[in-house]
Structure 1
């Protein structure tokens, strides 16, 4: 049986394709082995590098807590105050998206920190009533007093089960 990938080189060279120019700017260059580089060389294009500007560039030296405070905390606070918000990660495979979102035990990421902040700030905003119940995926239905009492009992039973675990 032959190796299906025998055409791949045995040694891979890491090419420096990204240069950080400051806290907000970086230059990305196409690797010399890429089609983008080869095509622009043949077409006599003005170059294979592009300059990108961001609000902030974070290095691998920054910790989860600092990253959360600088990049996400403001958005979570806006969400708590009633704004619709979205936080997402984008990047190539193995660039650290899952680590940034989840973190590790002892150094949690964006989601655990966001949930902690949200749930620690809703105590005075919780509604104890059960007059409304979700219906389907985008509607609610009003409950009669006896239905409301039934929902209250269901909630108490669920919370009691959670305390036992």
Structure 2
């Protein structure tokens, strides 16, 4: 097993080599506007997955995938020459789903923003159902304590009156 740093260097070299080949050497008319986004190499450096995106329609994506499959042998041999390691990794091309996921997230965020704006518009002239401030405050607690003490004085006075009756 190679260490993670070596695997990353090999992945970077594969990324550069594949991008250079797609830019200049591969002349397949089916190949659209392809961008290599990432390369991941297994720990034993035996397999590499090349992630790519294609600008265009679904048909352009299918055509580009077919062109990459047909050019895999040429690309692998060039990668082997560029790497200079004993075993050249086998290459797998995978359409990168990240742009599609990002678009989905952006659409969801736009819907949330629209919903928030709708709620803000509907609550613009609204008033509270109860008090404007439903929370307890210290000044109110002090007033309540004062009235509780007054009630306590009244109770003590009632008890005294009751004691006086018992003495009679």
TM-score band w.r.t. shorter chain: under 0.3
Task: Give the greater-gyration-radius structure (CA).
Answer: 2
* Higher share in helix: 2
Structure with the larger RCO, 1 or 2 (CA within 8 Å, 6+ apart): 2
**TM-score normalised by structure 2 residue count:** 0.23
